[in-house]
Amino acid sequence: MTTEPELLRERAAAALTAARVRTAGLTDAVSEAELTAQHSPLMSPLVWDLAHIGNMEELWLLRNVAGRDSMHPEIDPLYDAFEHPRAERPKLPLLSPDAARRYAAEVRGRVFDLLDRTPLEGTALLDGGYVFGMIAQHEQQHDETMLITHQLRQGAPVLTAPDPDPPQGPPPTATEVLIPAGPFTMGTSAEPWSLDNERPAHRREVEAFWIDTVPVTNAAYQEFMADGGYHEERWWEAPGWSEIRRHGIEAPLFWHRDGDTWLRRRFGVTEPVPGDEPVLHVSWYEADAYARWAGRRLPTEAEWEKAARHDPAAGRSTRYPWGDADPTPAHANLGQRHLRPARAGAYPAGASPLGVRQLIGDVWEWTASDFLPYPGFRAFPYREYSEVFFGPEHKVLRGGSFAVDAVACRGTFRNWDLPVRRQIFSGFRTARGAAPAGSIAGQA
Ligand SMILES: [Fe+2]
């Protein structure tokens, strides 16, 4: 990446504009009544996300960087994600859809003026355009959240996108790939827009392990279901077992059975579950139970990142499985270009040097690991971005999904959620140790 100031400005402006185009698409697609409605207690009304996007941008760029006063101090507390849990947000005196749009647009106009005349160096917030990149990533992350709200909403479809192309080139030759033992560099100290939890780069030892070439498919997951996987306690961690019993869960979220056929609802369309697509909308407990049933386990976060970034020939970690180049449509299914994962085995151009496919895009992949800080972690620029979430209650997801934009997706990017969550665009792949019998492989 260039540090040439003008190119950096263009990159920041393009990232902000791309996020706003997506935000507009997601919010203009539904009526005013649907923007202010709560489609699920798990989610905010879409109009809250819209004004919150503008408010975060005002806070970080206009108030913290430019030193301006708050534009509307009375609304600031309404859009603080830590003051009001999602279920409460519909009852707040929120800005109307029109007022929220005007506010976000006014902030953006002032931000573009600021970007034109601010040196992108000299402080940790400004170096490399970090704070502008952080705000573009924040908006894209809320766009993903809003896409989840669209998936949860009832009613006729309002979003459309072409299906992914059928896989190009030869299918993978093996179902799993051996990742040899040895150290690799995990995390990053160089990626200019990486977030605090991805930092710093550090050395990790990883035992040899095998990892699935592609994510677990719907067809494979249906074998687990058909084998009584949801009815055998031995596959489940205790809290997962009580969760599926309590809620009568017998299939991924949004699936239902019609005779012998499993159907799913996807953005308002009901369709047969496609067997060759990565499974989507499963909790960590479901992923973990499937892996145990299959005689395997989830990869640890370090194993996942080594499979995705370690280039054995070059002896270093790359930004993405395919190397250091930014993602293109040939590499991965990102950016809501499609409203579904591509078939398993797609994107041979995005494979890792050892041949692991679809690590980036398609579905978020649950890992075995808790969300913990790397050695040398420093909260930046605020504790609530990730530090307050560290601990055993959150599991790490990696790789991004079709709903993630490239600006918020890297080989080092870390996502986290509660192990019961399944409305997110989550799937998984499995792994197994390759060390001699009796030793424990790949714990990290
Ligand atoms: Fe936010």
> pLDDT tens for residues 19-44?
999 999 999 999 999 999 998 999 99
pLDDT of residue 277: 97
- In the chain, the amino acid numbered 304 is W
User: Ligand 1 centroid vs 89 CA: distance in angstroms?
Assistant: 13
pTM, entire model: 0.95
pLDDT of 18 higher than 70: yes
pLDDT of 67 higher than 70: yes
pLDDT of residue 3: 54
164-444 domain in CATH 3.90.1580.10? yes
C-alpha span between 47 and 105 (Å, rounded):
14
Task: For 183, list phi and psi in degrees, rounded to 5.
Answer: -80, 160
What is the average pLDDT across 396-416?
A: 98
pLDDT of 435 higher than 90: no
What is the average pLDDT across 211-234?
A: 98
Task: For 433, list phi and psi in degrees, rounded to 5.
Answer: -70, 155
pLDDT of residue 275: 97
What is the average pLDDT across 226-244?
A: 98
User: Ligand 1 centroid vs 142 CA: distance in angstroms?
Assistant: 6
What is the average pLDDT across 136-164?
A: 97
317, two tokens:
């970690």
User: Ligand 1 centroid vs 49 CA: distance in angstroms?
Assistant: 8
Please state which of the ranges 134-138, 146-150, 319-323, 431-435 shows the lowest mean pLDDT.
431-435
Percentage with pLDDT > 90 across the chain: 90
Domain 4-152: give its CATH architecture: Up-down Bundle (1.20)
**Beta strand pairing call for 391-398 and 414-417:** antiparallel
Which ranges in the chain are annotated with CATH 3.90.1580.10?
A: 164-444
User: Ligand 1 centroid vs 52 CA: distance in angstroms?
Assistant: 7
- Which residues lie closer than 8 Å to 5 by C-beta, 6 or more apart? 119, 120, 121
User: Ligand 1 centroid vs 31 CA: distance in angstroms?
Assistant: 23
Which ranges in the chain are annotated with CATH 1.20.120.450?
A: 4-152
User: Ligand 1 centroid vs 138 CA: distance in angstroms?
Assistant: 6
* Half-sphere exposure at residue 1, Cβ-oriented, CA atoms within 13 angstroms: 17
